[in-house]
Structure 1
Amino acid sequence: MNSSYKIGSIMGIPIKVHITFLFILPIFALVFATNPQPYGFADIGSPAITYGLSLLTTILLFVCVLLHELGHSYIAKSYGVEIKDITLMLLGGVSSMEEIPREPSQEFKMAFAGPLVSLIIGFGLLGLNIATSSLISSYSTTWLYLMVNILATINIILALFNLIPAFPMDGGRILRSMFAKRMSYIKATHYAASVGKMFAFMMALIGVVSNLWLLLIAFFVYIGASEEDKSTTVTVSLERYKVGDIMSKDVISVEPEMTVEELSHFMFENKHLGYPVIKSNSLKGIVTFTDIRNVMPHERYAVLVSDVMTKDVVTLPSSASAAEAFKVMTINNIGRVLVMDDDIVKGILSRTDLMRSLMLLTE
């Protein structure tokens, strides 16, 4: 089931809405509708006006979040980074980038661009309210003043929150870019992640005694710092090696006419959970344990490998980097890729092969 839906495109970047966004939209609107001035519209008029203004403010808030992400994307695109899409979801917006720039100055500018956009929007709206209220004395009691004030305040808070020096916030990437000027990228990530974990620990302590939401944010920050540290170590370490250096060249294949029952015994004997399906030296697909485990035992004698195999096979050339293989496996949620040169299967690379190589590299 598709969980994100495209609603448009800006700067050639697909803009998507995640299904969780549809859940958070009425919740935000309810918060604005049930709080009085200056944080909501509960006492501004009839229920229809109150909820209408609340919903409009929520939509404009997420437009601001979109502009925040477009700030990141604009700078990233200027450095040649491919932006696959921007998705609005439960916790805000996410720019799906091909990779984060490794050049410290580039990462700094890209990371800071989002908070800068939010600060410009926030202080710009505050300035608009101040300038207008000085001209019209009654303006401070109008719904427009309230809406502008709410959006300004949230944008400033959003910018300041994102500048906290902890992954996965923008401040974590800013801090890493500063460390990376004086040390390796892996070390810079490790130190930045450590600072982020320290902030998470302090937020958790405060959250336990004062605010459970802060405790939840602390957990989110700690996990984000740990994942960034781990993924960066894996990616950078594997970049030095080619797929052809660590793949298994002894490829065991099966034929499409084999029954699922025969394949299950074949898997048990050969101790592998995935095999390319080849006939007459031509790749037909790939079959894994996941493909056959849903076939009922009494049907396995009649069902063929060709009936359950995956025909859309993910492949890589032997010249690709091991880091690219890791990224492909992660994105496609698969445990192995076939290595092909000139339409000929040269080997197979599993996630286990990558992790084994990583262990040897880091010893």
Structure 2
Amino acid sequence: MTWSFSIGRLLGSELRVHVTFFLLIAYVGWSAWSAGGAVAAALNVAFVLALFACVVAHEFGHALMARRFGIRTPDITLLPIGGVARLMRMPHKPGQEIAVALAGPAVNVVIAGVLYLVVGRLDMISVLASDGTLNGFLSRLAAVNVWLVLFNLIPAFPMDGGRVLRAMLAFFTDRRRATRIAAFVGQAIAVVFAAYGVYTGWFLLVLVAVFVFMAARAEKAFAAP
């Protein structure tokens, strides 16, 4: 992907970061600094980095499941709106595609569960200061992982839920037609996302909607007869 650079290799895949990711970090740090000073800025930047570590784990869930079916993942790229695992190809069998698509959200379920267990343990033995800053940090991170699971399972192709939808359709029709139907559903949901984002001023959702719409269009064009 253009405007990205490598920060190393992990589990057989190159890990890349898009330059716009640092704009997100700078924006989060500056906003938090303006509102609460240096400590707030450090905590918010640390949270974003922890969140994107969970995103990387999510993408490696896809990559490692794909590897079970003989599919390589040359690289994983971090973007401000999430991560992208570039598989050499998608599985042709619907059951395999479902497994690959659900592997990412499954990782977030595990992360959330572990974090909630850790938070409960910290509460019981009162490890940190009485203000519970660490517990709050971990609880928030666990909650965001749950949100990532729910968001990714929305059937907006080519998100994870959309790929599950395409695979389910492929049980009953040919793959090209299943892709066109799933892409249409994804674009329709993207339009709803964009409208809601503009109405509420949630412009990150608008950005996600544009990405989903364009990606679905590209997938639909690729599947055209």
Structure-1-length-normalised TM-score: 0.56
**Paired residue type of 1:202:** V
> Does structure 1 conserve the Cα–Cα contact (< 8 Å) formed by 2:122 and 2:128?
no
Deviations 1:68-114 (CA, angstroms, capped at 9, x unpaired): 11000001111111211111122221111111111101110101111
1:222 aligns with 2:213: yes
Secondary structure of 1:166's aligned partner = coil
Match of 1:14 in 2: 14
1:120 aligns with 2:99: no
Q: Aligned-pair distance for 1:181?
A: 1.0
Secondary structure of 2:86's aligned partner = strand
Match of 1:163 in 2: 153
Q: Aligned-pair distance for 1:11?
A: 1.3
Bigger proportion of residues as strand: 1
Q: Aligned-pair distance for 1:29?
A: 3.5
> Does structure 2 conserve the Cα–Cα contact (< 8 Å) formed by 1:30 and 1:54?
no
**Paired residue type of 1:217:** V
1:150 & 1:31 partners in 2: Cα distance? 19
Distance 1:65 1:30, change over 3 A: farther
**Paired residue type of 1:55:** V
Q: Aligned-pair distance for 1:204?
A: 3.8
Secondary structure of 1:83's aligned partner = coil
Match of 2:24 in 1: 24
What stretches of structure 2 of length at least 5 have no aligned partner? none
Match of 1:97 in 2: 87
1:194 aligns with 2:184: yes
Q: Pick from 98, 118, 129: which aligns with 1:108?
A: 98
Match of 2:5 in 1: 5
> Does structure 2 conserve the Cα–Cα contact (< 8 Å) formed by 1:16 and 1:87?
yes
2:104 & 2:60 partners in 1: Cα distance? 7
Q: Aligned-pair distance for 1:161?
A: 1.1
Q: Aligned-pair distance for 1:125?
A: 1.1
Q: Aligned-pair distance for 1:208?
A: 4.5
In the alignment of these two chains, the number of paired residues is 223
The one of the two structures with greater contact order (alpha-carbon pairs below 8 A, sep at least 6) is 2
Deviations 1:44-85 (CA, angstroms, capped at 9, x unpaired): xxx443333332222222111110110000011111112111
In our comparison, the structure showing a higher alpha carbon Rg is 1
Secondary structure of 2:223's aligned partner = helix
**Paired residue type of 1:101:** P
Secondary structure of 2:90's aligned partner = coil
Q: Aligned-pair distance for 1:211?
A: 3.6
What stretches of structure 1 of length at least 5 have no aligned partner? 36-41, 234-361
> Does structure 2 conserve the Cα–Cα contact (< 8 Å) formed by 1:200 and 1:218?
yes
1:130 & 1:29 partners in 2: Cα distance? 29
2:83 & 2:218 partners in 1: Cα distance? 19
Match of 2:59 in 1: 69
> Does structure 1 conserve the Cα–Cα contact (< 8 Å) formed by 2:28 and 2:41?
no
2:187 & 2:25 partners in 1: Cα distance? 31
Secondary structure of 1:93's aligned partner = strand
Q: Pick from 150, 168, 182: which aligns with 2:140?
A: 150
Distance 1:217 1:95, change over 3 A: closer
Match of 2:126 in 1: 136
Match of 1:232 in 2: 223
Q: Aligned-pair distance for 1:128?
A: 2.1
> Does structure 1 conserve the Cα–Cα contact (< 8 Å) formed by 2:156 and 2:187?
yes
Q: Aligned-pair distance for 1:206?
A: 3.3
2:213 & 2:16 partners in 1: Cα distance? 27
2:34 & 2:123 partners in 1: Cα distance? 25
**Paired residue type of 1:148:** L
1:124 & 1:4 partners in 2: Cα distance? 32
Identity %: 35
